[in-house]
Amino acid sequence: MSIFRNRDEILSHGNIEGRRTVLDILEAGIEAGDPYPNVRKAIRVEGNKLYVGTDDFPPGPLGFVPPTRPRTAPSIPLVFDLDQVENIYVTGGGKAAQREAKALEDILGDRITAGCVNAKKGDSIYLDRCEVTLAGHPEPDEESVSGAQEIVDLMHTAQKGDIIFECESGGGTALITLPAPGLTLADIQELTRVMYLEHGASIEAANAVRTLLTTLRLKHSRHAGDATLIMISTAERAADALNMNQRPHHMGDEYEYAIYLLKELYPCWDEIPEAVRQHLLRRDPAYGHLRLEEWFDKPHYRIRVMGPEYMVNAAEKRAQELGLDAGVLAVSLSNLESHMVGDAMGQIAHEIERRDRPVRAPGVLLMGGENVVATGPNPGLGGRNSEFVTSAARRIAGSKRIVIGSADSDGSDGPTPNNGGIVDGHTVKRARAAGLDLVEDLRTHNTCAFLRGLGDAFDTGILRTNVQDLRVVYVSGRE
Protein backbone atom coordinates (compact mmCIF):
# COMPACT_ATOMS: atom_id res chain seq x y z
CA MET A 1 0.00 0.00 0.00
CA SER A 2 1.05 3.58 -0.61
CA ILE A 3 2.29 5.57 2.36
CA PHE A 4 -0.04 8.33 1.11
CA ARG A 5 -3.37 7.29 2.55
CA ASN A 6 -5.21 9.93 0.52
CA ARG A 7 -3.43 9.13 -2.74
CA ASP A 8 -6.69 8.86 -4.69
CA GLU A 9 -7.76 12.32 -3.55
CA ILE A 10 -4.36 13.81 -4.45
CA LEU A 11 -4.63 12.28 -7.94
CA SER A 12 -8.23 13.34 -8.58
CA HIS A 13 -7.41 16.82 -9.90
CA GLY A 14 -4.75 19.09 -11.31
CA ASN A 15 -1.73 17.79 -13.21
CA ILE A 16 -2.51 14.15 -12.51
CA GLU A 17 0.43 12.52 -14.32
CA GLY A 18 2.90 14.95 -12.79
CA ARG A 19 1.42 14.38 -9.35
CA ARG A 20 1.71 10.63 -9.79
CA THR A 21 5.40 10.99 -10.63
CA VAL A 22 6.07 13.19 -7.60
CA LEU A 23 4.24 10.83 -5.24
CA ASP A 24 6.20 7.88 -6.65
CA ILE A 25 9.54 9.59 -6.04
CA LEU A 26 8.57 10.83 -2.56
CA GLU A 27 7.41 7.37 -1.59
CA ALA A 28 10.61 5.66 -2.73
CA GLY A 29 12.72 8.13 -0.81
CA ILE A 30 10.77 8.12 2.43
CA GLU A 31 10.53 4.33 2.56
CA ALA A 32 14.34 4.16 2.30
CA GLY A 33 14.61 6.15 5.54
CA ASP A 34 13.50 3.17 7.64
CA PRO A 35 16.46 2.19 9.91
CA TYR A 36 15.20 -1.36 10.54
CA PRO A 37 17.02 -3.08 7.61
CA ASN A 38 20.32 -1.39 8.40
CA VAL A 39 20.20 -2.40 12.06
CA ARG A 40 19.71 -6.00 10.89
CA LYS A 41 22.78 -5.62 8.67
CA ALA A 42 24.89 -4.00 11.38
CA ILE A 43 24.17 -6.44 14.23
CA ARG A 44 23.92 -10.23 14.16
CA VAL A 45 24.05 -13.29 16.40
CA GLU A 46 25.88 -16.44 15.37
CA GLY A 47 25.83 -19.24 17.89
CA ASN A 48 26.82 -17.74 21.23
CA LYS A 49 28.56 -14.75 19.65
CA LEU A 50 27.10 -11.25 19.19
CA TYR A 51 28.66 -9.23 16.37
CA VAL A 52 28.16 -5.46 16.37
CA GLY A 53 29.23 -3.41 13.37
CA THR A 54 30.33 -3.97 9.77
CA ASP A 55 32.50 -2.10 7.28
CA ASP A 56 29.37 -0.27 6.11
CA PHE A 57 28.23 0.45 9.67
CA PRO A 58 31.41 0.72 11.74
CA PRO A 59 31.27 1.20 15.49
CA GLY A 60 32.98 4.40 16.59
CA PRO A 61 33.75 6.15 19.86
CA LEU A 62 30.76 7.73 21.58
CA GLY A 63 32.16 11.25 21.50
CA PHE A 64 34.83 13.43 19.96
CA VAL A 65 38.49 12.72 20.72
CA PRO A 66 40.91 15.67 20.38
CA PRO A 67 43.93 14.88 18.20
CA THR A 68 46.22 15.25 21.20
CA ARG A 69 44.64 12.14 22.73
CA PRO A 70 44.08 9.63 19.94
CA ARG A 71 42.02 6.57 20.60
CA THR A 72 42.54 3.31 18.77
CA ALA A 73 39.51 2.65 16.60
CA PRO A 74 37.35 -0.24 17.81
CA SER A 75 37.68 -3.52 16.01
CA ILE A 76 35.11 -4.26 13.31
CA PRO A 77 32.98 -5.93 14.37
CA LEU A 78 32.80 -5.75 18.14
CA VAL A 79 32.45 -9.35 19.32
CA PHE A 80 30.74 -10.41 22.56
CA ASP A 81 30.52 -13.88 24.08
CA LEU A 82 26.86 -14.09 25.04
CA ASP A 83 27.67 -16.78 27.61
CA GLN A 84 29.55 -14.06 29.51
CA VAL A 85 26.85 -11.36 29.18
CA GLU A 86 24.35 -11.53 32.00
CA ASN A 87 21.96 -8.79 30.89
CA ILE A 88 21.11 -6.97 27.67
CA TYR A 89 18.97 -3.85 27.94
CA VAL A 90 17.33 -1.81 25.19
CA THR A 91 16.56 1.85 25.87
CA GLY A 92 15.99 4.93 23.77
CA GLY A 93 13.86 7.75 22.52
CA GLY A 94 13.09 9.35 19.19
CA LYS A 95 10.83 9.02 16.20
CA ALA A 96 12.85 6.08 14.85
CA ALA A 97 13.52 4.47 18.24
CA GLN A 98 10.81 1.83 17.97
CA ARG A 99 12.02 0.69 14.54
CA GLU A 100 15.58 0.39 15.81
CA ALA A 101 14.38 -1.45 18.93
CA LYS A 102 12.18 -3.75 16.84
CA ALA A 103 15.21 -4.79 14.83
CA LEU A 104 17.07 -5.52 18.08
CA GLU A 105 14.15 -7.58 19.36
CA ASP A 106 14.14 -9.62 16.16
CA ILE A 107 17.91 -10.12 16.38
CA LEU A 108 18.25 -10.85 20.09
CA GLY A 109 14.86 -12.31 21.04
CA ASP A 110 14.67 -13.52 24.63
CA ARG A 111 18.27 -12.53 25.25
CA ILE A 112 16.89 -9.04 25.98
CA THR A 113 16.47 -8.69 29.74
CA ALA A 114 14.31 -5.56 29.66
CA GLY A 115 13.77 -2.39 27.69
CA CYS A 116 12.22 1.09 27.84
CA VAL A 117 11.63 3.21 24.73
CA ASN A 118 9.88 6.56 24.24
CA ALA A 119 8.08 7.08 20.92
CA LYS A 120 5.90 9.85 19.55
CA LYS A 121 2.23 10.04 20.41
CA GLY A 122 0.16 8.90 17.46
CA ASP A 123 2.40 5.92 16.80
CA SER A 124 1.21 2.42 17.59
CA ILE A 125 3.05 0.22 20.09
CA TYR A 126 4.49 -2.92 18.49
CA LEU A 127 7.46 -3.95 20.64
CA ASP A 128 7.21 -7.24 22.52
CA ARG A 129 10.09 -7.11 24.99
CA CYS A 130 10.42 -3.39 25.60
CA GLU A 131 8.04 -1.10 27.43
CA VAL A 132 6.97 1.80 25.21
CA THR A 133 5.89 5.23 26.41
CA LEU A 134 4.15 7.45 23.86
CA ALA A 135 5.30 10.99 24.55
CA GLY A 136 4.92 14.53 23.28
CA HIS A 137 6.59 16.19 20.29
CA PRO A 138 7.55 18.91 19.33
CA GLU A 139 6.73 20.03 22.86
CA PRO A 140 7.56 17.50 25.60
CA ASP A 141 4.82 16.40 27.98
CA GLU A 142 4.37 14.48 31.22
CA GLU A 143 4.91 11.17 29.43
CA SER A 144 8.21 12.47 28.03
CA VAL A 145 9.34 12.95 31.62
CA SER A 146 7.96 9.73 33.11
CA GLY A 147 9.31 7.62 30.25
CA ALA A 148 12.73 9.27 30.50
CA GLN A 149 12.83 8.52 34.23
CA GLU A 150 12.06 4.84 33.51
CA ILE A 151 14.95 4.76 31.05
CA VAL A 152 17.35 6.24 33.59
CA ASP A 153 16.18 3.83 36.29
CA LEU A 154 16.73 0.87 33.98
CA MET A 155 20.19 2.06 32.91
CA HIS A 156 21.22 2.40 36.54
CA THR A 157 20.61 -1.33 37.07
CA ALA A 158 23.26 -2.26 34.48
CA GLN A 159 26.60 -3.56 35.73
CA LYS A 160 30.01 -4.03 34.17
CA GLY A 161 29.74 -6.70 31.47
CA ASP A 162 26.08 -5.94 30.75
CA ILE A 163 25.15 -4.42 27.39
CA ILE A 164 22.86 -1.42 26.90
CA PHE A 165 21.63 -0.73 23.37
CA GLU A 166 20.54 2.90 23.18
CA CYS A 167 18.16 3.59 20.27
CA GLU A 168 18.59 7.25 19.33
CA SER A 169 17.07 9.46 16.64
CA GLY A 170 15.69 12.90 15.92
CA GLY A 171 12.82 13.91 18.16
CA GLY A 172 14.54 12.50 21.21
CA THR A 173 15.18 15.90 22.76
CA ALA A 174 11.45 16.30 23.32
CA LEU A 175 10.53 12.65 23.74
CA ILE A 176 13.01 11.91 26.54
CA THR A 177 12.85 15.14 28.50
CA LEU A 178 14.05 14.82 32.08
CA PRO A 179 14.41 18.36 33.49
CA ALA A 180 17.52 19.22 35.45
CA PRO A 181 16.97 20.02 39.17
CA GLY A 182 15.41 23.43 39.60
CA LEU A 183 13.61 23.26 36.26
CA THR A 184 10.12 22.04 35.47
CA LEU A 185 8.50 20.53 32.43
CA ALA A 186 6.59 23.81 32.01
CA ASP A 187 9.89 25.70 31.82
CA ILE A 188 11.15 23.54 28.97
CA GLN A 189 7.80 23.64 27.18
CA GLU A 190 7.85 27.43 27.28
CA LEU A 191 11.44 27.57 26.04
CA THR A 192 10.50 25.27 23.15
CA ARG A 193 7.43 27.31 22.25
CA VAL A 194 9.20 30.66 22.33
CA MET A 195 12.52 29.79 20.71
CA TYR A 196 11.65 27.02 18.26
CA LEU A 197 8.07 27.74 17.26
CA GLU A 198 7.64 31.51 17.62
CA HIS A 199 11.14 32.70 16.77
CA GLY A 200 11.84 30.03 14.14
CA ALA A 201 15.12 28.73 15.56
CA SER A 202 16.74 25.87 13.69
CA ILE A 203 16.42 22.49 15.35
CA GLU A 204 20.19 22.44 15.96
CA ALA A 205 20.01 25.79 17.75
CA ALA A 206 16.96 24.81 19.79
CA ASN A 207 18.61 21.55 20.82
CA ALA A 208 21.85 23.32 21.71
CA VAL A 209 19.83 25.03 24.44
CA ARG A 210 17.38 22.29 25.40
CA THR A 211 20.01 19.60 25.96
CA LEU A 212 21.57 21.79 28.66
CA LEU A 213 18.29 21.79 30.55
CA THR A 214 17.94 18.00 30.89
CA THR A 215 19.79 15.11 32.50
CA LEU A 216 19.47 12.36 29.86
CA ARG A 217 19.54 13.51 26.22
CA LEU A 218 23.10 13.01 24.83
CA LYS A 219 24.29 12.17 28.35
CA HIS A 220 23.61 8.43 28.42
CA SER A 221 27.24 7.70 29.22
CA ARG A 222 26.73 9.22 32.68
CA HIS A 223 23.95 6.73 33.40
CA ALA A 224 25.46 3.63 31.77
CA GLY A 225 28.47 3.65 34.07
CA ASP A 226 30.81 0.71 33.39
CA ALA A 227 28.29 -1.24 31.33
CA THR A 228 28.90 -1.59 27.60
CA LEU A 229 26.86 1.13 25.86
CA ILE A 230 26.10 0.86 22.14
CA MET A 231 24.18 3.80 20.67
CA ILE A 232 22.22 2.93 17.53
CA SER A 233 21.78 6.26 15.74
CA THR A 234 19.39 7.48 13.06
CA ALA A 235 20.87 10.86 12.20
CA GLU A 236 18.89 13.87 11.02
CA ARG A 237 21.88 15.34 9.21
CA ALA A 238 23.99 13.78 6.48
CA ALA A 239 27.25 12.27 7.66
CA ASP A 240 29.29 14.99 5.95
CA ALA A 241 26.87 17.90 6.49
CA LEU A 242 28.15 21.13 7.95
CA ASN A 243 26.67 22.15 11.29
CA MET A 244 25.26 25.61 10.59
CA ASN A 245 24.93 26.26 14.33
CA GLN A 246 28.36 25.07 15.41
CA ARG A 247 29.70 27.01 18.36
CA PRO A 248 32.09 29.78 17.29
CA HIS A 249 35.67 29.12 18.37
CA HIS A 250 35.85 32.27 20.48
CA MET A 251 33.01 31.12 22.75
CA GLY A 252 34.22 29.49 25.92
CA ASP A 253 31.68 26.72 26.41
CA GLU A 254 28.28 25.39 25.42
CA TYR A 255 26.54 27.59 27.98
CA GLU A 256 28.00 30.77 26.55
CA TYR A 257 26.85 29.63 23.11
CA ALA A 258 23.31 28.89 24.34
CA ILE A 259 23.07 32.34 25.91
CA TYR A 260 24.34 33.89 22.67
CA LEU A 261 21.64 32.07 20.70
CA LEU A 262 18.91 33.30 23.02
CA LYS A 263 20.18 36.86 23.24
CA GLU A 264 21.55 37.54 19.78
CA LEU A 265 20.65 35.08 17.05
CA TYR A 266 17.03 34.41 18.09
CA PRO A 267 16.48 37.28 20.52
CA CYS A 268 14.11 35.90 23.10
CA TRP A 269 16.17 35.91 26.32
CA ASP A 270 13.65 38.12 28.09
CA GLU A 271 10.72 35.93 26.95
CA ILE A 272 11.92 32.60 28.35
CA PRO A 273 11.34 31.50 31.98
CA GLU A 274 13.53 33.02 34.67
CA ALA A 275 14.43 29.53 35.91
CA VAL A 276 15.91 28.69 32.48
CA ARG A 277 17.95 31.90 32.44
CA GLN A 278 19.34 31.23 35.92
CA HIS A 279 20.15 27.60 35.05
CA LEU A 280 22.15 28.65 31.98
CA LEU A 281 23.95 31.39 33.88
CA ARG A 282 25.08 28.85 36.53
CA ARG A 283 26.91 26.86 33.81
CA ASP A 284 26.75 23.61 35.81
CA PRO A 285 29.00 21.05 34.05
CA ALA A 286 26.77 18.23 35.33
CA TYR A 287 24.23 19.14 32.63
CA GLY A 288 26.63 20.25 29.92
CA HIS A 289 28.23 18.15 27.21
CA LEU A 290 29.94 14.92 28.11
CA ARG A 291 33.56 15.46 29.13
CA LEU A 292 36.27 13.29 27.61
CA GLU A 293 37.04 11.52 30.87
CA GLU A 294 33.41 10.49 31.25
CA TRP A 295 33.51 8.04 28.33
CA PHE A 296 37.06 7.79 26.99
CA ASP A 297 38.14 4.64 28.85
CA LYS A 298 34.70 3.02 28.88
CA PRO A 299 33.22 0.56 26.36
CA HIS A 300 30.83 3.14 24.99
CA TYR A 301 30.22 3.18 21.22
CA ARG A 302 28.01 4.65 18.50
CA ILE A 303 26.85 3.16 15.19
CA ARG A 304 25.18 5.41 12.63
CA VAL A 305 22.67 3.24 10.77
CA MET A 306 20.57 5.83 8.94
CA GLY A 307 20.71 9.41 7.64
CA PRO A 308 19.04 11.66 5.07
CA GLU A 309 21.40 10.62 2.28
CA TYR A 310 19.69 7.20 2.17
CA MET A 311 16.35 8.90 1.53
CA VAL A 312 17.62 11.36 -1.09
CA ASN A 313 19.69 8.72 -2.90
CA ALA A 314 16.68 6.39 -3.12
CA ALA A 315 14.53 9.20 -4.50
CA GLU A 316 17.20 9.97 -7.10
CA LYS A 317 17.41 6.32 -8.11
CA ARG A 318 13.63 6.08 -8.53
CA ALA A 319 13.56 9.24 -10.64
CA GLN A 320 16.23 7.77 -12.91
CA GLU A 321 14.24 4.54 -13.20
CA LEU A 322 11.34 6.68 -14.43
CA GLY A 323 13.57 8.03 -17.20
CA LEU A 324 14.04 11.49 -15.65
CA ASP A 325 17.10 13.68 -15.52
CA ALA A 326 17.55 13.79 -11.75
CA GLY A 327 19.63 16.27 -9.84
CA VAL A 328 20.23 16.50 -6.10
CA LEU A 329 20.42 20.15 -5.14
CA ALA A 330 21.39 19.34 -1.55
CA VAL A 331 21.00 16.45 0.88
CA SER A 332 20.69 18.97 3.72
CA LEU A 333 19.27 22.28 2.53
CA SER A 334 18.32 23.51 5.99
CA ASN A 335 17.70 26.39 8.38
CA LEU A 336 16.25 28.83 5.81
CA GLU A 337 12.76 30.32 5.89
CA SER A 338 10.51 27.79 4.16
CA HIS A 339 8.50 30.35 2.21
CA MET A 340 11.71 31.81 0.74
CA VAL A 341 12.97 28.40 -0.33
CA GLY A 342 9.59 27.62 -1.90
CA ASP A 343 9.64 30.85 -3.86
CA ALA A 344 13.19 30.15 -5.06
CA MET A 345 12.37 26.59 -6.11
CA GLY A 346 9.37 27.84 -8.07
CA GLN A 347 11.67 30.16 -10.00
CA ILE A 348 14.20 27.39 -10.61
CA ALA A 349 11.40 25.15 -11.86
CA HIS A 350 10.68 27.77 -14.54
CA GLU A 351 14.36 27.76 -15.46
CA ILE A 352 14.10 24.02 -16.12
CA GLU A 353 10.84 24.50 -18.00
CA ARG A 354 12.20 27.25 -20.28
CA ARG A 355 15.92 26.55 -20.58
CA ASP A 356 16.53 22.91 -19.53
CA ARG A 357 18.86 23.86 -16.69
CA PRO A 358 20.08 22.94 -14.14
CA VAL A 359 18.48 19.63 -15.26
CA ARG A 360 16.82 18.81 -18.56
CA ALA A 361 13.08 18.22 -18.76
CA PRO A 362 11.61 15.79 -18.09
CA GLY A 363 13.54 16.07 -14.89
CA VAL A 364 13.50 16.58 -11.13
CA LEU A 365 15.43 18.48 -8.52
CA LEU A 366 15.63 16.79 -5.11
CA MET A 367 16.37 18.31 -1.73
CA GLY A 368 16.66 16.99 1.78
CA GLY A 369 17.01 19.04 4.95
CA GLU A 370 14.80 20.93 7.33
CA ASN A 371 13.87 24.59 7.02
CA VAL A 372 12.11 26.82 9.52
CA VAL A 373 8.92 28.79 10.00
CA ALA A 374 8.92 31.71 12.43
CA THR A 375 5.25 31.61 13.37
CA GLY A 376 4.96 34.46 15.84
CA PRO A 377 2.58 34.18 18.82
CA ASN A 378 -0.70 33.47 16.98
CA PRO A 379 -0.07 31.20 14.01
CA GLY A 380 -2.57 29.33 11.90
CA LEU A 381 -2.33 25.63 11.07
CA GLY A 382 0.86 25.08 9.12
CA GLY A 383 4.32 23.55 8.93
CA ARG A 384 7.55 23.97 6.98
CA ASN A 385 6.62 21.55 4.16
CA SER A 386 3.17 22.99 3.61
CA GLU A 387 4.64 26.50 3.68
CA PHE A 388 7.30 25.50 1.13
CA VAL A 389 4.85 24.17 -1.45
CA THR A 390 2.25 26.91 -0.88
CA SER A 391 4.87 29.57 -1.48
CA ALA A 392 6.06 27.76 -4.61
CA ALA A 393 2.47 27.61 -5.94
CA ARG A 394 2.49 31.37 -6.53
CA ARG A 395 5.55 31.10 -8.76
CA ILE A 396 4.35 28.17 -10.87
CA ALA A 397 0.76 29.37 -11.37
CA GLY A 398 -0.45 28.56 -14.87
CA SER A 399 2.32 26.11 -15.73
CA LYS A 400 1.19 22.90 -17.40
CA ARG A 401 4.45 21.09 -16.64
CA ILE A 402 5.55 21.85 -13.06
CA VAL A 403 4.56 19.89 -9.94
CA ILE A 404 6.20 20.39 -6.53
CA GLY A 405 5.76 18.18 -3.46
CA SER A 406 7.29 18.07 0.00
CA ALA A 407 6.90 15.76 3.00
CA ASP A 408 8.56 15.04 6.33
CA SER A 409 10.11 11.60 6.70
CA ASP A 410 8.56 11.29 10.17
CA GLY A 411 4.98 11.55 8.90
CA SER A 412 3.88 14.92 10.30
CA ASP A 413 4.60 18.46 9.23
CA GLY A 414 5.44 20.18 12.50
CA PRO A 415 2.40 20.50 14.80
CA THR A 416 -0.11 19.69 12.04
CA PRO A 417 -2.16 16.51 11.45
CA ASN A 418 -0.89 16.33 7.85
CA ASN A 419 2.50 15.82 6.24
CA GLY A 420 3.20 18.61 3.78
CA GLY A 421 1.54 18.51 0.40
CA ILE A 422 1.66 19.03 -3.34
CA VAL A 423 0.99 21.90 -5.76
CA ASP A 424 0.99 22.44 -9.51
CA GLY A 425 0.14 25.08 -12.06
CA HIS A 426 -3.58 24.70 -11.33
CA THR A 427 -3.31 25.34 -7.57
CA VAL A 428 -3.74 29.13 -7.53
CA LYS A 429 -6.75 29.00 -9.86
CA ARG A 430 -8.39 26.23 -7.81
CA ALA A 431 -7.77 28.20 -4.60
CA ARG A 432 -9.53 31.26 -5.97
CA ALA A 433 -12.48 29.15 -7.07
CA ALA A 434 -12.66 27.64 -3.56
CA GLY A 435 -12.58 31.05 -1.88
CA LEU A 436 -9.15 30.46 -0.31
CA ASP A 437 -6.71 33.32 0.22
CA LEU A 438 -3.21 31.99 -0.51
CA VAL A 439 -1.44 35.25 0.36
CA GLU A 440 -3.22 35.62 3.70
CA ASP A 441 -2.68 31.96 4.61
CA LEU A 442 1.04 32.35 3.92
CA ARG A 443 1.14 35.50 6.04
CA THR A 444 -0.54 33.76 8.97
CA HIS A 445 1.27 30.44 8.44
CA ASN A 446 -2.06 28.72 7.84
CA THR A 447 -0.72 26.67 4.94
CA CYS A 448 -1.74 23.21 6.10
CA ALA A 449 -5.33 24.39 6.31
CA PHE A 450 -4.94 25.97 2.85
CA LEU A 451 -3.78 22.67 1.31
CA ARG A 452 -6.46 20.68 3.12
CA GLY A 453 -9.04 22.97 1.60
CA LEU A 454 -7.82 21.92 -1.84
CA GLY A 455 -7.43 18.20 -1.09
CA ASP A 456 -3.66 18.61 -1.51
CA ALA A 457 -2.36 18.02 2.05
CA PHE A 458 -0.63 14.66 2.46
CA ASP A 459 -2.04 12.14 4.94
CA THR A 460 0.63 9.57 5.80
CA GLY A 461 0.29 8.97 9.51
CA ILE A 462 3.36 8.33 11.68
CA LEU A 463 6.22 6.97 9.53
CA ARG A 464 8.56 5.87 12.34
CA THR A 465 11.78 7.48 11.19
CA ASN A 466 13.28 10.96 11.17
CA VAL A 467 15.78 11.91 8.47
CA GLN A 468 14.30 15.36 7.86
CA ASP A 469 12.25 16.36 4.78
CA LEU A 470 12.19 15.38 1.11
CA ARG A 471 11.27 17.99 -1.49
CA VAL A 472 10.67 17.17 -5.17
CA VAL A 473 10.52 19.72 -8.01
CA TYR A 474 9.29 18.00 -11.19
CA VAL A 475 9.06 19.40 -14.72
CA SER A 476 7.58 17.22 -17.45
CA GLY A 477 8.81 17.17 -21.04
CA ARG A 478 7.55 19.45 -23.76
CA GLU A 479 4.40 18.29 -25.49
Residue 73 — pLDDT band, cuts 50, 70, 90? low
Residue 65 — pLDDT band, cuts 50, 70, 90? very low
Backbone dihedral angles phi then psi of residue 303, each to the nearest 5 degrees: -125, 125
Could you report the per-residue pLDDT of 109-137, keeping only the tens digit for each? 999 999 999 999 999 999 999 999 999 99
Residue 188 — pLDDT band, cuts 50, 70, 90? very high
pTM of the model: 0.93
Residue 471 — pLDDT band, cuts 50, 70, 90? very high
Could you report the per-residue pLDDT of 173-185, keeping only the tens digit for each? 999 999 999 999 9
Which stretch of DSSP H or E encloses residue 42?
Answer: helix 36-42
For residues 210-239, average pLDDT: 92
> How does strand 325-330 pair with strand 43-46?
unpaired
pLDDT of residue 243: 52
10 Å CB burial of residue 343 (0-12, 13-18, 19+) is middle
Side-chain half-sphere exposure of 380, counting CA atoms within 13 A: 18
476/319 Cα distance (integer angstroms): 12
Residue 378 — pLDDT band, cuts 50, 70, 90? confident
**Average pLDDT over the chain, rounded to an integer:** 93
For residues 303-315, average pLDDT: 97
332/370 Cα distance (integer angstroms): 7
On the question of pLDDT at 430 being above 80, the answer is yes
Q: 179 preceded by cis ω (within 30°)?
A: no
322 vs 63 pLDDT, higher one:
322
Residue 68 — pLDDT band, cuts 50, 70, 90? very low
pLDDT of residue 67: 45
403 vs 75 pLDDT, higher one:
403
pLDDT of residue 64: 46
Considering only 36-40, 201-205, 281-285, which range has the smallest mean pLDDT? 201-205
What percent of the chain is predicted at pLDDT more than 90? 86
pLDDT of residue 76: 86
On the question of pLDDT at 226 being above 70, the answer is yes
For residues 268-283, average pLDDT: 97
Could you report the per-residue pLDDT of 16-63, keeping only the tens digit for each? 999 999 999 999 999 999 999 999 999 999 999 999 999 999 998 875
